[in-house]
Amino acid sequence: MELANKAVQGAFDQKPVFKGLCYIMLQAAERKEQEKGLRNLKYPTEFLNFLIVLGSISLKALDLFRQNLAGMTIRTIRSISEDAINNPDLCHENVARFKRLLDSLHYKGPVVAMTDCTILKSGLQYSTNLGCIVGSTLDRNDCKIETYDDIYKKISDIKQRNAIAKYVRVYVLQVPLPRFPPVIVALIPTGNDSANKILALHQKLIDIAADFELPIISIRSDGAAAEFQAQNLLQSIRTRNRVQHRNSRYGINFNCPVFPKVGPIVRIQDPKHGKKTARNAAMSGARLLTFGNSTVRFDQLLTLSFQENSIMYKRDVIKLDRQDDNAAYRVFCSKNLAQVLDGEKGLSSEFRGLFVYLFVMGELLNSYLNRNITHYKRIEMAITAYFFLHFDLYPSYISISKNFLAMQTFNIMISLVESLVLLIKIHRDYYKNIPLLPWKHGTESCEHIFGIS
């Protein structure tokens, strides 16, 4: 009664979510008295928005809230959303939703595309919305169902052809500015994709973007071999115009294609994945990284991890997790670099190669991730790494196959330099009124999407 009196007095007028909760619980109580189900409850807009936000933060929190109070399941929320993907393929319909968002915000600047792949819990089921079997790597037309008797026949055929998807590939579009949400435009079940298959998907996305005159500035991935090769193939596509930065004196020729009605597109490797790649190269025993008369070795990092007040944990080195973002950050952070200097004693010959490696590679990756430096400084940091890494110009100096980075790692690092320079040039020439935030050009949104799925 006291709660009701407070409500009558207007105590909850500024609490629309709480009022919505009370309204739903009242409906639920009335349905229970009438021995009716809880379907088709009328949810106030503010309370529904609260449930959507809660579900995006934590599915477990949403489920706990629903079980103890009231609310929708995440499946129901997705089913009533106007922007929920009904067709998981890369199609005009899904990109149109993203374009509609941009038009509603009157945004005319560049957007970024990103793709990633993750393991899928294998399984086949019939989708009433799509009218086909989902969970297969076959084309949707090959999985169409005309009658219910076809379901079991089609599932048997998919199994016989060994076409059950093991992975799912996501394509995401996003405005590379703060507070813009990532938008999923495709969820494609797949097997082990080849570079040519991924390239075909990239080209399909670009063709759809051209129909909407959507200016995609970059296509990003996490450096997986097939994805990186697909990006290289995309960069080599011949177009009438190209963005180019050339300096014949220093052997620099950075360029990317300009697609009609889309604009220039740069390939970008995720800088945080690049940091993990650089860390793993130092930890690997496959090659002895040699710089001058000093080397980069596992035991050097092990020694640092055991020092008093070490920024690194022992688990960063011993039985390490090679996909640990925080461990990669600690290896390249300034405190670890200061530890290599060993205070007043300065830099010992034992750690000279490690210091140079951590500094140069850290600067390259920091040129993307640092939020407090100028673009001129970013180019300076990246180009320093570019020239440092080109030991392949001096084959008599060290053995590239034994004492240098693996070719895949080398190519990823060089591509990071090239992409940064081209990004800055493209923003200057094409999007000068839109700020460039390089740290927004990664695949972190894909990781978050996989995490909450």
| pLDDT higher at 114 or 166 | 114
As a whole number, mean pLDDT of residues 111-127 equals: 85
The mean pLDDT value for 77-84 works out to: 64
Residue range 67-95: average pLDDT?
A: 75
The answer to whether the CB of 276 falls within 8 A of the CB of 328 is: yes
- Res. 204 pLDDT band, cuts 50 70 90: very high
With 70 as the cut, is the pLDDT of residue 343 above it?
A: no
87 has a pLDDT exceeding 70: yes
Q: Minimal CA–CA distance to 273: which of 401, 146, 444?
A: 444
| Phi (first) and psi of residue 266, to 5 degrees | -105, 140
Q: Which whole number is the average pLDDT over 253-265?
A: 95
Whether the per-residue pLDDT at 380 is higher than 70: the answer is yes
Averaging pLDDT over each range in 8-22, 197-211, 385-399, which range is the top one? 197-211
What's the pLDDT tens digit per position in 207-255? 999 999 999 999 988 878 899 999 999 999 999 999 999 988 888 999 9
How high is the pLDDT of residue 225?
87
What band does 85 get if pLDDT is binned at 50, 70 and 90?
low
DSSP code string of 235-250: HT---SEEEEEEEGGG
Confidence at residue 90, expressed as pLDDT on a 0 to 100 scale? 87
**What is the Cα–Cα distance from 273 to 255, expressed in whole angstroms?**
23
Query: What pLDDT score was predicted for residue 283?
Result: 83
* Confidence label for 206 from pLDDT (cuts 50, 70 and 90): very high
Confidence class for position 368, pLDDT limits 50, 70, 90:
very high
The pLDDT-based confidence of 398 (bands split at 50, 70, 90) is confident
Lowest mean pLDDT among 30-34, 75-79, 285-289: 75-79
Q: Give the per-residue pLDDT at 55.
A: 78
Distance of alpha carbon 413 from alpha carbon 391, whole angstroms: 13
> What's the pLDDT at 79?
67
Q: Identify the top-confidence range among 42-46, 127-131, 148-152, 310-314.
A: 310-314
Average of per-residue pLDDT across 356-370: 93
| Cα separation, 131 vs 152, whole angstroms | 14
- Kindly indicate the confidence band of residue 420, based on its pLDDT and cuts at 50, 70 and 90: very high
Measured CA to CA, the distance from residue 101 to residue 254 in angstroms comes to 33
Residue 377's pLDDT is what?
96
Q: What is the mean pLDDT of residues 365-386?
A: 94
CA distances (Å), 29 to each of 18, 35, 70, 193, in order? 16, 10, 11, 52
pLDDT score for 453: 61
**pLDDT greater than 80 at residue 451:** no
* Distance separating alpha carbons of residues 134 and 273, to the nearest angstrom: 31
CA 146, chain centre distance (Å): 38
Work out the mean pLDDT of the chain and round it to a whole number: 85
pLDDT digits (tens, 9 = 90+) for 283-342: 877 788 887 778 888 888 888 888 888 888 888 888 887 888 888 888 888 888 888 887
Where does the pLDDT of residue 82 fall: very low under 50, low under 70, confident under 90, or very high at 90 and above? low
Do residues 137 and 164 touch, judged by C-beta distance below 8 A?
yes
Task: State the pLDDT confidence band at 376, using cuts at 50, 70 and 90.
Answer: very high
Identify the band that residue 86 occupies on the pLDDT scale cut at 50, 70 and 90.
low
Mean pLDDT of 356-378: 93
Is residue 74's pLDDT more than 80? no
The pLDDT value given to residue 1: 65
Model confidence at 351: pLDDT above 90: no
